[in-house]
Chain A
Amino acid sequence: MAPIIEIKNIGKKYNITHERGRYIALRDVIMNTVKSPLAFIKSKTRKIVGLEQEEEYWALKDVNFTVERGEVIGIIGRNGAGKSTLLKILSQITPPSEGEIILRGRVGSLLEVGTGFHPELTGRENIFLNGAILGMSRSEVSKKFEEIVEFADIRQFLDTPIKRYSSGMYVRLAFSVAAHMEPDILLIDEVLAVGDTEFQKKCLGKMDELTKKSGRTIIFVSHNMITVEQLCKKVIILKKGRIDFIGPVKEGISKYLNPEHGGSNQVSWEGVSGAPGNDIVRIKKARVHNADYKAQDSFSVKEKIGVTMEYEILKDGYSFSQGINLNKEDGTIIFYSHDVVTERPENISREKGLYSSTVWLPENFLSDGLFSVGAIIFQPNPFEVYTSPFSMLFFRIIDGSGLDSSRGIYSGDFPGIIRPRLEWETKKIN
């Protein structure tokens, strides 16, 4: 059977000039033309003749792959790698600039949960509206209505306008409608990043069930390696608009988390957009460094490693503590560790301002390999997470031997994720 999706030489070009002038006023265009008609004609002819070229930016270039029926493919890549553009082209929101895609089946796209939800309408009304927007017929929605309500767990609020819903209820309802559509090909963009963990698990379960039962094909874009690994057998890594890797999920993820692949030992966020956090606290910078606070890509097993994060507290009167999670290259969490707070909450409230926290991983603790670090900033009591980027930083540990290491004089294979140098007591008892 022919593959369900064939993507041939897809490219998407944006003109930088287009991007800059987000709101072009017709007034300005007319005025400029009237004021200096000569300049206008000159620039037009130059463009036509080809002397002057508009600055182009290829968000995607030479993308080729095929997807077989029933496959679940993850697409990973850093910001700006072209993941979302690819999904937008596949879902026909924007056309490609070159190439061709053949889709042999009905396509459903879920680039956002609750697209088209209207705050004034009730839950019931929104289920039908959202269903129609997602391409379901009314009879299809009616048939699944009970299931949708059941899954979202909002029965008693069915006739309440959704502007009165909590954000959790909103997301549950939105996802529930989406999960019940039955396209042959489902495109999903990072939507699982919302909602509480419990519900996320439920959604993943539902999606897993759907793929196994009805052989649905899914293309899934995510930053969360754990979800990708759970759902997908195959991944595609996009890098600067091109396919960098396509293959088994394990191999792809470990390649992706590799510092040489673009993962970095330090990150910083300018302004608010993209910076992890909320309106109480926002992370500004983070890095992994050596004992002299110098950022480093790789460390010897015998080195002490520091993780420092700078964050800005934006509101007074909240209490804070912070922690990190250390992950294996495939996204498995090795541990979580936080600054243990024993004080009463009112004693640990911090005022507004820029803060920096550093935590030290001892020498002779980790084995050689690739690791990633995530942060968590939370309110200790009652426990509430402000922000928890799962993996922000990447670093490598290089093997080392010597009497000051855990190896001692042994130089052979040394398995294990951690490699602590422990204290031994040996005595002759007989």
Chain B
Amino acid sequence: MSASTLIIRPKKVFSSRDLWELWIYRELLFFFAWRDLKVRYKQTIIGMAWAIFQPLVTMVVFTIFFGKLANMPSDGVPYPIFVYVGLLFWQFFSTALSDTSNALISNQAIVTKVYFPRLILPISSVMVKLVDFAIAMVILIGMMVYYGYMPGIGGILLMPLLLVISFMAAVGGGLILASINVKYRDVRYALPFFIQILLFLTPVIYPASIAGRYSKLLALNPMMGVIQNARAALLGTAPVNWLLISLSLIGTIIMLSLGLYVFKKTERYFADII
């Protein structure tokens, strides 16, 4: 039996073949991400500037309303930079989550006509968001220079880990939502609302410390560990909390496994019900 022999059977469980296929189709993964970026760049007048505009304006609005008017505590650092670090990760996570959950529906025409590992679609939508993240990061560097923050080398090294956790969390959650979305089309209307609620359950605009004894409850949210530690690493608001990072990592891995399981289970019928 040669390597290219393929057997099609009714039942398909998650196997090492799936990972192998992802590897074979890796170019397609980049092509989809590239297409989405290119199209967005062509369709909007301001194109890539949107990636700068969005976090920047959100930061300004939040600073005015929460920082100035509501006098939100910010762990002793200027509120703009405090909220921006939170927003950086939050926007990556939330936009990735919502794009991922629509990834199958918006590529419906392709899904029903060609075979490729379906996992590519949600993963490529998250990859697109990495580019936005990188652009938004440039502003952060500018702000850190302006406010005179210089993170330690350890802090900088922590960032990729935090990004990987956010990436996995977005993919995991996105896979679950994408699977439900194929079957129940009203999910996409509920999603923006759900994400908005989630924003308030994540310490983006406030420090986790104000939740007092409930802050342990917040730790169930993997993004809490990410954002808290990003602040600790970059702004030195507190020592890096490895326990919290471990919790986030474990939570994300569970989420990702669950997502993969649900996705693979429903994947076979996408083309039939989409």
**A interface residue numbers (CB < 8 A to B):** 14, 18, 23-27, 29, 88-107, 109, 111-112, 115-116, 118, 120-121, 125, 128-129, 132-135, 137-138, 161, 184
* Neighbouring B residues of A99 by C-beta, 8 Å: 9-10
Given contacts A24-B185, A132-B27, contact A95 B109 (CB under 8 A): no
- Indicate if the CB atoms of B272 and A14 lie closer than 8 Å: yes
Residues of B within 8 A of A18 (CB): 272-273
A100 CA to B9 CA, complexed, in Å: 5
Docked Cα-Cα span, A138 to B28, in Å, equals 9
The answer to whether B271 touches A94, judged by C-beta atoms less than 8 angstroms apart, is yes
Q: How far is the CA of A427 from the CA of B81 in the complex (A)?
A: 114
A116 touches B109 (CB 8 A): yes
The interface residues of chain A lying within 8 Å CB-to-CB of B35 are 118, 121, 129
Chain B residues touching A, range:
35 or more
A111 touches B113 (CB 8 A): yes
Whole-angstrom distance from the CB of A240 to the nearest CB of chain B? 19
Query: How would residues 134 to 165 of chain B score, 1 for a CB under 8 Å from any chain A CB and 0 otherwise?
Result: 00000000000000000000000000000000
What CA separation (Å) do A179 and B35 show in the bound complex?
A: 22
| Residues in B neighbouring A91, C-beta threshold 8 A | 114-115
Instruction: List, in ascending order, chain B residues with CB within 8 A of A100's CB.
Output: 7-9
Minimum CB–CB distance for A30 against chain B, Å: 9
Contact A115 B4 (CB under 8 A): no
- Residue B180 is within 8 A (CB to CB) of chain A in the complex: yes
0/1 interface trace, chain B 19-61, chain A, CB 8 Å (1 if under): 0000001011001000100110011000000000000000000
Q: For residue B114, which residues in chain A have a CB less than 8 angstroms away from its CB?
A: 91, 93, 109, 111, 115-116, 133-134
The residue in chain B whose Cβ has the minimal distance to the Cβ of A101 is B8
Given A24-B183, A25-B185, A121-B38: A105 and B113 interface contact (C-beta under 8 Å): no
Are A93 and B115 neighbours in the complex by a CB distance under 8 Å?
yes
The distance in angstroms between the C-alpha atoms of A24 and B112, with both chains bound, is 19
Report yes or no: A93 in contact with B271, Cβ–Cβ below 8 A.
yes
Further pairs besides A18-B273, A100-B7, A101-B8: 16, Cβ < 8 Å: A25-B185, A26-B187, A93-B115, A95-B12, A95-B268, A96-B9, A101-B7, A102-B5, A103-B7, A111-B113, A115-B109, A115-B110, A121-B35, A128-B31, A133-B28, A135-B116
Question: Cβ of B243: which chain A residues have Cβ within 8 Å of it?
Answer: none
Q: Which of B8, B39, B113 contacts A103 (CB 8 A)?
A: B8
Chain A nearest CB from B131 CB (Å) reads 17
Q: Is the CB of B109 within 8 A of A24?
A: no
B-side contacts of A23, CB under 8 Å: 185
**Minimal Cβ-Cβ distance residue in A for B30:** A132
Cα distance, A135 to B180, chains bound together (Å): 28
Q: How far is the CA of A102 from the CA of B35 in the complex (A)?
A: 34
Identify the closest chain B residue to A132 (Cβ).
Answer: B31
B10, A96: Cβ atoms closer than 8 Å: yes
The answer to whether A27 touches B186, judged by C-beta atoms less than 8 angstroms apart, is yes
Contacting pair B112 A93 (CB below 8 A): yes
User: With a CB–CB cut-off of 8 A, which chain A residues contact B28?
Assistant: 132-133
Contacts of B9 in A (CB 8 A): 95-96, 99-101
Q: Nearest A residue to B180 by beta-carbon distance? A: A26
